[in-house]
């Protein structure tokens, strides 16, 4: 490939990956891979500066502010760091510094894998917390920051203005607990603590963020009016004296000691409460920092050393195939337990049949495992030299390992699917999904109860749940009369969740929460939806041709018809219910002010009330949000005085659409 096409490919791949990572919090590329590609692009751009485009990922720090939070301009930019990947490069950095400066001491610190925030205090009082965004402009997440217990709201010193910068993260133990809960509730899992922290800090409702138990390590003093310091370590001491949790750091003056400290930090990562994605080396003297200055986006006086993802070999004991809720067969390897990046690994994903064939992974093989930021380890490759005699290529099962029905390969991809209509594997997942919080929200009917119900033959479809009696449930292990009674009540209560949730709960392929809402809003009732042609479905914004085909296919299957019949018989609501948005604003009070464009005041108030909230005419401490339209006056002023969050009309509309 010539350099021009290589640069273009790199730019495109990195932009897409950066968007998924920074904006959607849903990364598709390993961080290490991303950093390496970025470095390659930087190299090429250095050789061919005439080819640098303004939209190149090297030209920005990454991440744009989302529209749903107010934007904040950082008085002191939140810079990025230059990455290096080897001890030699650390030495080179030290050489550069030593050539430019007299005597250099370095601070070596763990690089916390979280989200960078700036915290501002006026006269010793916390006034604003903002995310990094693109480094110049971030998002105002003040209310969420307030929920982080380790961040002081008042400081002993009352400097007119103080800004510190730190990394917000979700402690590893909190992350594991959260994911376990999400799994039990049938909700999607966070890929890693960084995503969980990002997702939490960007919650529009601070109460959700509060439950996530985020923490912080402050690593820089951005601005301190009325104080001067000579070194970075002095600033960290000062920050710590003001009640912040600061980054652990060591000051060293020889490059080889710096490298040794980097190794030591890497080995201690298991003991740290946060994920670490590197080590940061910084010049300690603040006047020396000023002397070398910064490039357009990174300081010259610091580097981030990126550890290669840890890899370990282990032997394949077994290849097993699991069947998911939608019937997809996913293979994984069971390996001899091995300690990898802080956890004991006993299995790793194999993605699909093609992956196994391409790598020729066999039972008995020694495979190299890797875990880089993600919780699920993967197989990097097979050490063919270590292959024992007599192994055979793995053959993917032709029938479902759970129900024995034939499997088929999807026309549009690598996925292999079970065709068994009543496959118990699918039934368990289907029912768990059906009862999960975001679907029919049936409290007390979790995976363990569902497992027993299936084993006892009490349920074969979600509709059977509605015909269970207290006695049947009380018979289950660890149930008891009282919880059986509660479960029956919870099942009955779920009948009124409305069409939007029902459609999601049914587990129709490609129909998630959003599509459920869109379809319910468009058709109003199940019967109207059942009449819709594929063309009508495709014509709806956000419903693509493939989804439309899946919906039609689902509607036409005899089992679905039977299921819907039984659900109707049980009295499950088939109508789009306004109340079904019911609880979204429970306990919240809104005040509307100024002229709204999309709604009249009355409409907006009705929408708030339909979601369980209150619309009030005057701003007080009890107000949760003020929605401010054009020319908002005194109410907006009052809200600002009281520190009540203010939403624009767009933000309000986005909340309604959630
Ligand atoms: P990058 O995003 O790869 O450019 O790396 C820079 C980011 O590392 C900064 O935005 C900080 O959020 C983060 N970071 C984590 N720990 C530290 C630390 N000890 N010193 C400086 N930056 C840190």
Segments forming the whole domain that contains residue 321? 312-386
In a domain, 402, yes or no: no
Clarify whether residues 124 and 266 are in a common domain. Answer: yes
CA atoms within 13 A on the CB side of 272: 24
CATH number of the domain bearing residue 75: 3.30.470.30
Q: Is the pLDDT of residue 63 over 50?
A: no
pTM flag (> 0.85)? no
Clarify whether residues 301 and 322 are in a common domain. Answer: no
How much is the pLDDT for 54? Answer: 67
Give the CA dihedral 334, 340, 341, 346, nearest 10 degrees.
20
How much is the pLDDT for 114? Answer: 93
pLDDT in tens, 30-42: 777 888 888 899 8
Q: Check if 304 has its Cβ closer than 6 Å to any atom of ligand 1.
A: yes
In a domain, 419, yes or no: no
N-term to C-term CA, the chain = 45
In a domain, 404, yes or no: no
How much is the pLDDT for 258? Answer: 97
Q: Check if 265 has its Cβ closer than 6 Å to any atom of ligand 1.
A: no
How much is the pLDDT for 140? Answer: 92
CA atoms within 13 A on the CB side of 285: 13
How much is the pLDDT for 264? Answer: 96
Q: Which atom of ligand 1 is nearest to the CA of 79?
A: 10
Q: Check if 487 has its Cβ closer than 6 Å to any atom of ligand 1.
A: no
How much is the pLDDT for 247? Answer: 97
Clarify whether residues 52 and 162 are in a common domain. Answer: no
Clarify whether residues 349 and 489 are in a common domain. Answer: no
Nearest-5° Cα angle at 341, 339 to 342: 70
**Ligand 1: which residue has its CA nearest to atom 18?**
111
233 falls in which pLDDT band (50, 70, 90)? very high
CATH number of the domain bearing residue 635: 3.40.50.10190
How much is the pLDDT for 62? Answer: 34
In a domain, 555, yes or no: yes
pLDDT, averaged across the chain = 88
Clarify whether residues 316 and 301 are in a common domain. Answer: no
Clarify whether residues 93 and 242 are in a common domain. Answer: yes
Long-range contacts of the stretch 458-461 (C-beta < 8 A, 24+): 459/427, 459/431, 460/422, 460/427, 461/427, 461/559, 461/562, 461/563, 461/566
314, β-bridge pairs: 367
Q: Check if 280 has its Cβ closer than 6 Å to any atom of ligand 1.
A: yes
CATH number of the domain bearing residue 54: 1.10.287.610
- Per the structure, the count of domains in the chain is 5
Catalytic residues: 111
Cα dihedral sign, 569-575-579-582: positive
In a domain, 414, yes or no: no
**Ligand 1: which residue has its CA nearest to atom 2?**
80
Q: Is the pLDDT of residue 99 over 60?
A: yes
Cα dihedral sign, 596-65-53-300: positive
Task: Give residue 306 CA to ligand 1 midpoint distance, Å.
Answer: 11
Helix (H, G, I), strand (E, B) or coil at 523: helix
d(CA 324, CA 44): 44
Q: Check if 116 has its Cβ closer than 6 Å to any atom of ligand 1.
A: yes
In a domain, 393, yes or no: no
Q: Which atom of ligand 1 is nearest to the CA of 113?
A: 15
Clarify whether residues 300 and 319 are in a common domain. Answer: no
604 falls in which pLDDT band (50, 70, 90)? confident
In a domain, 576, yes or no: no
Give which of 364, 365, 329, 367 is closest to 348, Cα–Cα: 367
Clarify whether residues 495 and 622 are in a common domain. Answer: no
With contact defined as beta carbons under 8 Å apart, do 221 and 238 qualify?
A: yes
CATH number of the domain bearing residue 346: 2.40.50.140
Clarify whether residues 549 and 452 are in a common domain. Answer: yes
To which H or E segment does residue 382 belong?
A: strand 378-382
d(CA 174, CA 200): 12
Clarify whether residues 28 and 75 are in a common domain. Answer: no
For 175, list phi and psi in degrees, rounded to 5. -60, -45
Q: Is the pLDDT of residue 24 over 90?
A: no
Q: Token pair for residue 232?
A: 């970075």
Q: Check if 81 has its Cβ closer than 6 Å to any atom of ligand 1.
A: yes
d(CA 499, CA 573): 7
Q: Is the pLDDT of residue 19 over 80?
A: no
For 600, list phi and psi in degrees, rounded to 5. -80, 165
In a domain, 535, yes or no: yes
**Ligand 1: which residue has its CA nearest to atom 16?**
111
Q: Which residue has the higher pLDDT, 369 or 185?
A: 369
Clarify whether residues 110 and 251 are in a common domain. Answer: yes
Q: Order across the sheet with 646-647: list the strands.
A: 614-616, 589-593, 625-628, 646-647
Q: Is the pLDDT of residue 65 over 50?
A: no
Q: Which atom of ligand 1 is nearest to the CA of 116?
A: 12
Clarify whether residues 482 and 506 are in a common domain. Answer: yes
User: Mean pLDDT over residues 357-376, rounded?
Assistant: 86
Specify the pairing of strand 343-349 against strand 329-340. antiparallel
How much is the pLDDT for 26? Answer: 66
Task: Give residue 121 CA to ligand 1 midpoint distance, Å.
Answer: 22
Cα dihedral sign, 106-108-114-118: negative
**% residues pLDDT > 70 (the chain):** 95
């Amino acid at each position: 490939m010539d350099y021009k096409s290589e640069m273009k490919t790199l730019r495109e791949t990195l932009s897409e990956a950066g968007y998924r990572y920074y904006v959607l919090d849903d990364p598709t590329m390993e961080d290490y891979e991303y950093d390496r590609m970025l470095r390659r692009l930087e190299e090429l751009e250095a050789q061919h500066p005439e080819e640098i485009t303004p939209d190149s990922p090297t030209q920005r720090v990454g991440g744009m502010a989302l529209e749903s939070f107010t934007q904040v301009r950082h008085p002191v930019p939140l810079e990025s760091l230059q990455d290096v990947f080897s001890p030699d490069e650390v030495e080179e950095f030290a050489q550069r510094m030593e050539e430019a400066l007299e005597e250099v001491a370095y601070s070596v610190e763990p690089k916390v894998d979280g989200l960078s925030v700036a915290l501002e205090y006026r006269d010793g009082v916390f006034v604003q917390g903002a995310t990094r965004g693109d480094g110049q402009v971030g998002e105002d997440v003040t209310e969420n920051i307030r929920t982080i217990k380790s961040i002081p709201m008042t400081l002993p010193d009352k400097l007119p203005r103080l800004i510190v910068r730190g990394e917000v993260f979700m402690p590893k133990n909190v992350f594991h607990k959260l994911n376990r809960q999400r799994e039990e509730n049938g909700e999607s899992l966070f890929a890693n603590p960084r995503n969980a922290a990002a997702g939490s800090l960007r919650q529009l409702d601070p109460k959700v963020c509060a439950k996530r138990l985020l923490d912080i390590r402050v690593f820089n003093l951005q601005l301190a009016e009325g104080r001067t310091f000579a070194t970075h370590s002095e600033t960290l001491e000062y920050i710590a004296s003001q009640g912040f949790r600061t980054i652990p750091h060591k000051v060293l003056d020889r490059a080889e000691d710096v490298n040794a400290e980097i190794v030591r930090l890497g080995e201690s990562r298991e003991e740290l409460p946060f994920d670490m994605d590197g080590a940061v080396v910084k010049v300690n003297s603040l006047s020396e920092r000023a002397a070398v200055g910064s490039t357009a986006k990174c300081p010259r006086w610091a580097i981030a050393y990126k550890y290669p993802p840890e890899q370990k070999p282990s032997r394949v004991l077994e290849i097993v195939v699991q069947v998911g809720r939608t019937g997809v067969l996913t293979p994984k390897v069971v390996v001899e337990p091995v300690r990898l990046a802080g956890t004991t690994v006993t299995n790793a994903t194999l993605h699909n049949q093609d992956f196994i064939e391409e790598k020729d992974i066999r039972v008995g093989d020694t495979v190299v495992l890797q875990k880089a930021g993600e919780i699920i380890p993967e197989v990097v490759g097979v050490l063919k030299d270590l292959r024992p005699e007599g192994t055979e290529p793995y053959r993917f099962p032709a029938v479902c390992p759970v129900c024995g029905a034939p499997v088929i390969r999807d026309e549009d991809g690598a996925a292999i699917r079970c065709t068994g209509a009543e496959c118990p594997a699918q039934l368990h997942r289907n029912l768990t999904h059906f009862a999960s919080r975001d679907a029919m929200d049936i409290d007390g009917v979790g995976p363990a109860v569902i497992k027993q119900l299936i084993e006892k033959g009490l349920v074969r479809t979600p509709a059977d749940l509605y015909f269970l009696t207290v006695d049947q449930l009380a018979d289950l292990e660890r149930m008891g009369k009282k919880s059986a009674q509660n479960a029956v009540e919870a099942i009955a209560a779920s009948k009124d969740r409305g069409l939007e949730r029902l459609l999601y709960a049914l587990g129709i392929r490609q129909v998630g929460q959003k599509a459920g809402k869109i379809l319910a809003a468009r058709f109003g009732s199940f019967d109207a939806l059942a009449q819709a042609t594929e063309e009508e479905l495709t014509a709806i914004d956000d419903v693509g041709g493939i989804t439309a085909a899946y919906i039609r296919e689902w509607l036409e299957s005899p089992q679905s018809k039977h299921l819907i019949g039984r659900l109707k018989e049980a009295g499950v609501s088939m109508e789009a219910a306004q109340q079904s948005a019911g609880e979204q604003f429970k306990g919240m009070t809104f005040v509307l002010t100024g002229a709204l464009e999309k709604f009249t005041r009355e409409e907006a108030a009705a929408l708030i009330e339909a979601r369980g909230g209150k619309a009030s005419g005057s701003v007080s401490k009890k107000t949760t949000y003020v929605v401010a339209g054009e020319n908002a006056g005194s109410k907006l002023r009052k809200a600002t005085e009281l520190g009540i969050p203010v939403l624009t009309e767009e933000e309000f509309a986005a909340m309604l659409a959630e």
